[in-house]
Chain A
């Protein structure tokens, strides 16, 4: 019995070493972010700061640099997330519950759109937005953002609703509830965790989105954090790197926290959308 045990230990140690090496590669850029944000003389290298300062955070915690862009991001991505989740919840219900010839083509189209490179659509979207005067408006941009996440949200939501037993709804119907009542009172509470996952996932995706607001919003006072961070710090060289790091941390923190909230469900049966497992 001793030989296989030792063999297993050796195998585990080898795997640990390989993983730690890779982890170091992933950690180095992150380490720079954390260390530079508190290093008074931060440059582009990872190094232990001689002294620690909160000065960079102080410097960026102003209306212009942090609060206005973050509020814009919140309005833009929050609004878009709401639209996405409501539309996806409504759309997923009939797709999950009724049988029709129409289901399969609709869902296949949705899945197909999920994969399309949204980047490629941005040039014509810009052109259209100029013509219908939606360019440089928060609501126009939010609606486009919402639509860009909609296909995936519908797909996810449908998979979650498939998991809710029909019997419960039939009971509600028997008691005289309408379809809308059934959806709101019975199905949504039961799909609650699923809806939360879709909501948080959509929000994370939108919060980090750079290209869409970069193209569709022009006035500096409307820019969300993803674009303002680029216009403020994108001209490397004339930048205080410590402040860049400090702001990047502030801007990333909300999505990191949100991710931790849904991490368990993302890692489990969900596997990023069921889209992957079919």
Chain B
């Protein structure tokens, strides 16, 4: 052991090198570049002509009606699909699965997970077909004699939010299933013997014991929802108009379709900052022992 420890010395950290180099070149590099470009007026035609413009891009963003619209839509998209949708539905499914019979449990699990494993673009196509005026949802509503409408036109942000719930619930479901399985049975049984009903057991035992899982799942759902692009782009392209244009779509639109790389990058930087904030909260919740 001592021979190895001394002879190897710093060399034994060498295996870390390839990963570190890749992370520095392809992740830290672009983030650093992002910080620099965000303060310039770079255009798509050539970064060489970029001038330092200070906080202009950010001032412009906060005064920009479309940017504020994108922030609002991102908020709606995140709250509806990640916090209310994926998280709550995932928890409900995990809870119900413990009470349900085995074949139903297996079937539901398989379907929810299939939706999650499917490539993003395929999921977008499927939900496009589901929400179109001549699509499945309206067919079902007709059958039930309920009013149908053109969902992708009247409520595009809700349609993409539901699409994200359809696609992302499996993650929460799996995490909560694992967490629920770790709650000792005798705790819930003792409460039941003491006369606590289902709702009170949920309120005073299950939820408090899941506190950490709920916190981390919420953070991870929020973070993955913040970076959803393909799903929205393939379903609505941010439209009609800009009514489903969340921040990633807005960023893409400004940087590439309007050729304002500097401005688009400033938006990207803001997105990164929000993401970092959530990541830090996530790490605090996790209290990792590494």
Report the bound CA distance from A111 to B126 in whole Å.
Answer: 33
**Residue of A115, A143, A272 most packed against chain B (CB within 10 A):** A115
A104 at the binding interface (Cβ < 8 Å): yes
Q: Is the CB of A111 within 8 A of B283?
A: yes
Q: Which of A44, A170, A271 contacts B174 (CB 8 A)?
A: A271
Contact with A along B191-233 (1 / 0, CB 8 A): 0000000000000000000001100110110010011111000
Given A12-B101, A112-B283, A124-B31; A26-B115 close (CB under 8 Å): yes
Chain A interface residue number, banded: 35 or more
Given A19-B105, A115-B282, A124-B34; A32-B136 close (CB under 8 Å): yes
Q: Is the CB of B114 within 8 A of A20?
A: no
B186 at the binding interface (Cβ < 8 Å): no
Q: Is the CB of A19 within 8 A of B174?
A: no
Report how many residues on chain B are interfacial, defined by Cβ distance under 8 Å. 100
Q: Contacts of A25 on B, CB cut-off 8 Å?
A: 166
Number of cross-chain contacts by CB at 8 Å: 286
Partner-binding segment picked from A49-57, A58-66, A191-199, A244-252: A244-252
Q: Contacts of A234 on B, CB cut-off 8 Å?
A: 234
B29's nearest neighbour on chain A, judged by CB, is: A128
Q: Is the CB of A44 within 8 A of B115?
A: no
B198's nearest neighbour on chain A, judged by CB, is: A11
B265 at the binding interface (Cβ < 8 Å): yes
Closest CB in chain B relative to A85 CB, distance in Å: 11
Contact with A along B36-57 (1 / 0, CB 8 A): 0100001000010000000000
Q: Contacts of B114 on A, CB cut-off 8 Å?
A: 26, 30, 256
A163 at the binding interface (Cβ < 8 Å): no
Q: Is the CB of A29 within 8 A of B30?
A: no
Q: Is the CB of A150 within 8 A of B19?
A: yes
The DSSP consensus for interface residues of chain B is: helix
Q: Is the CB of B117 within 8 A of A115?
A: no
A43 at the binding interface (Cβ < 8 Å): yes
Q: Is the CB of A272 within 8 A of B1?
A: no
Report the bound CA distance from A127 to B255 in whole Å.
Answer: 10
Q: Is the CB of A147 within 8 A of B122?
A: no
Contact with A along B174-189 (1 / 0, CB 8 A): 1101100000000000
A88's nearest neighbour on chain B, judged by CB, is: B19
Q: Contacts of A259 on B, CB cut-off 8 Å?
A: 113, 117
Closest CB in chain B relative to A16 CB, distance in Å: 5
A121 at the binding interface (Cβ < 8 Å): yes
Q: Is the CB of A93 within 8 A of B234?
A: no
B84 at the binding interface (Cβ < 8 Å): no
Report the bound CA distance from A141 to B122 in whole Å.
Answer: 21
Q: Which of B89, B97, B125, B229 contacts A244 (CB 8 A)?
A: B125
Q: Is the CB of B126 within 8 A of A208?
A: no
Report the bound CA distance from A272 to B176 in whole Å.
Answer: 11
Q: Is the CB of B129 within 8 A of A127?
A: no
Q: Is the CB of A210 within 8 A of B120?
A: yes
Partner-binding segment picked from B59-67, B153-161, B269-277: B269-277
Given A251-B122, A278-B288; A108-B19 close (CB under 8 Å): no
Q: Is the CB of A209 within 8 A of B120?
A: yes
Report the bound CA distance from A28 to B107 in whole Å.
Answer: 14
Q: Contacts of B58 on A, CB cut-off 8 Å?
A: none
Q: Is the CB of A20 within 8 A of B108?
A: yes
Report the bound CA distance from A265 to B129 in whole Å.
Answer: 33
A123 at the binding interface (Cβ < 8 Å): yes
B240 at the binding interface (Cβ < 8 Å): no
A75 at the binding interface (Cβ < 8 Å): no
Report the bound CA distance from A215 to B166 in whole Å.
Answer: 26
**Residue of A118, A143, A226, A277 most packed against chain B (CB within 10 A):** A277
Q: Is the CB of B97 within 8 A of A272?
A: no
A120 at the binding interface (Cβ < 8 Å): yes
Q: Is the CB of B4 within 8 A of A173?
A: yes
Interface residues in chain B, defined as those with a beta carbon under 8 Å from any beta carbon in chain A: 1, 4, 8, 12-13, 15-16, 18-20, 22-23, 25-27, 29-31, 33-34, 37, 42, 47, 89, 93, 96-97, 99-101, 104-105, 107-108, 111-115, 117-122, 125-130, 132, 134-136, 139-140, 166, 171, 174-175, 177-178, 212-213, 216-217, 219-220, 223, 226-230, 234, 248, 251-252, 255-256, 261, 264-265, 268-269, 271-272, 275-276, 278-280, 282-283, 286-290
Interface residues in chain A, defined as those with a beta carbon under 8 Å from any beta carbon in chain B: 11-12, 14-16, 18-20, 22-23, 25-30, 32-33, 36, 43-47, 83, 86-88, 90-91, 93-95, 98, 100, 102-104, 106-108, 111-113, 115-128, 130-131, 143-144, 146-148, 150-151, 154, 170, 173, 179, 183, 204, 207-211, 214, 226, 229-230, 233-234, 236, 241, 244, 248, 251-252, 255-256, 259, 263, 266-267, 271-272, 275-278
Q: What 18 new A-B contacts, CB under 8 Å, besides A112-B279, A123-B255, A127-B37? A: A19-B97, A29-B127, A44-B129, A91-B16, A94-B13, A112-B276, A112-B280, A117-B248, A120-B269, A123-B268, A124-B31, A126-B256, A147-B25, A210-B234, A255-B118, A259-B117, A275-B286, A276-B175
